[in-house]
Amino acid sequence: MQHWGGIYAPKGTPAQIMDRVAQAMLVAFRGDSDLRAQLERYGYRPETGTRADFTRFIETEKNRLGKIVRDSHMTLD
Protein backbone atom coordinates (compact mmCIF):
# COMPACT_ATOMS: atom_id res chain seq x y z
CA MET A 1 0.00 0.00 0.00
CA GLN A 2 1.30 3.42 -0.87
CA HIS A 3 0.80 6.61 1.05
CA TRP A 4 -0.32 9.64 -0.83
CA GLY A 5 -1.22 13.18 0.03
CA GLY A 6 -2.68 16.26 -1.47
CA ILE A 7 -3.35 19.90 -0.87
CA TYR A 8 -6.72 20.55 0.76
CA ALA A 9 -8.70 23.64 1.69
CA PRO A 10 -11.73 24.21 3.87
CA LYS A 11 -15.11 23.42 2.36
CA GLY A 12 -16.51 26.48 0.63
CA THR A 13 -13.14 27.88 -0.47
CA PRO A 14 -13.85 29.79 -3.69
CA ALA A 15 -12.98 27.95 -6.90
CA GLN A 16 -10.72 30.77 -8.09
CA ILE A 17 -8.55 30.37 -4.99
CA MET A 18 -8.44 26.60 -5.42
CA ASP A 19 -7.45 27.12 -9.06
CA ARG A 20 -4.63 29.47 -8.06
CA VAL A 21 -3.28 26.98 -5.53
CA ALA A 22 -3.51 24.15 -8.07
CA GLN A 23 -1.69 26.22 -10.68
CA ALA A 24 1.05 27.15 -8.20
CA MET A 25 1.56 23.48 -7.36
CA LEU A 26 1.80 22.59 -11.05
CA VAL A 27 4.40 25.29 -11.62
CA ALA A 28 6.39 24.23 -8.56
CA PHE A 29 6.40 20.50 -9.28
CA ARG A 30 7.00 20.82 -13.01
CA GLY A 31 9.40 23.73 -12.98
CA ASP A 32 11.50 23.43 -9.85
CA SER A 33 13.89 20.50 -10.26
CA ASP A 34 15.47 21.23 -6.87
CA LEU A 35 12.08 20.88 -5.16
CA ARG A 36 11.41 17.61 -6.98
CA ALA A 37 14.86 16.28 -6.08
CA GLN A 38 14.41 17.19 -2.41
CA LEU A 39 11.01 15.50 -2.23
CA GLU A 40 12.30 12.43 -4.04
CA ARG A 41 15.22 12.15 -1.57
CA TYR A 42 12.59 11.64 1.13
CA GLY A 43 10.76 9.03 -0.90
CA TYR A 44 8.03 11.24 -2.32
CA ARG A 45 7.04 11.06 -5.96
CA PRO A 46 5.34 14.36 -6.82
CA GLU A 47 2.63 13.99 -9.42
CA THR A 48 0.68 16.69 -11.10
CA GLY A 49 -2.76 16.86 -12.59
CA THR A 50 -5.93 18.87 -12.51
CA ARG A 51 -8.24 19.36 -9.56
CA ALA A 52 -10.71 17.09 -11.36
CA ASP A 53 -8.03 14.40 -11.67
CA PHE A 54 -7.40 14.55 -7.93
CA THR A 55 -11.12 14.42 -7.14
CA ARG A 56 -11.46 11.30 -9.29
CA PHE A 57 -8.43 9.77 -7.58
CA ILE A 58 -9.91 10.44 -4.13
CA GLU A 59 -13.21 8.82 -5.12
CA THR A 60 -11.40 5.80 -6.53
CA GLU A 61 -9.38 5.43 -3.33
CA LYS A 62 -12.50 5.77 -1.16
CA ASN A 63 -14.16 2.99 -3.11
CA ARG A 64 -11.07 0.76 -3.16
CA LEU A 65 -10.21 1.19 0.51
CA GLY A 66 -13.85 1.13 1.59
CA LYS A 67 -14.22 -2.30 0.02
CA ILE A 68 -11.18 -3.54 1.93
CA VAL A 69 -12.62 -2.21 5.18
CA ARG A 70 -16.03 -3.77 4.53
CA ASP A 71 -14.67 -7.12 3.30
CA SER A 72 -12.38 -7.47 6.31
CA HIS A 73 -15.07 -6.35 8.79
CA MET A 74 -12.79 -3.67 10.26
CA THR A 75 -14.24 -1.64 13.11
CA LEU A 76 -13.14 1.38 15.09
CA ASP A 77 -11.65 0.71 18.50
Domain boundaries, the chain: 15-72
Query: Whole-model pTM?
Result: 0.71
Phi/psi of residue 12, nearest 5 degrees? 90, 0
- Maximum alpha-carbon separation in the chain: 44
Phi/psi of residue 38, nearest 5 degrees? -65, -45
The burial class, CB within 10 Å (0-12 / 13-18 / 19+), for 39 is middle
**pLDDT of amino acid 1:** 67
**pLDDT of amino acid 76:** 85
Integer Cα distance of 43 and 37 in angstroms = 10
Integer Cα distance of 69 and 75 in angstroms = 8
Condensed to tens digits (0 to 9), the pLDDT of residues 11-52 reads 999 999 999 999 998 899 888 999 989 999 998 888 888 889
**pLDDT of amino acid 46:** 85
**pLDDT of amino acid 3:** 80
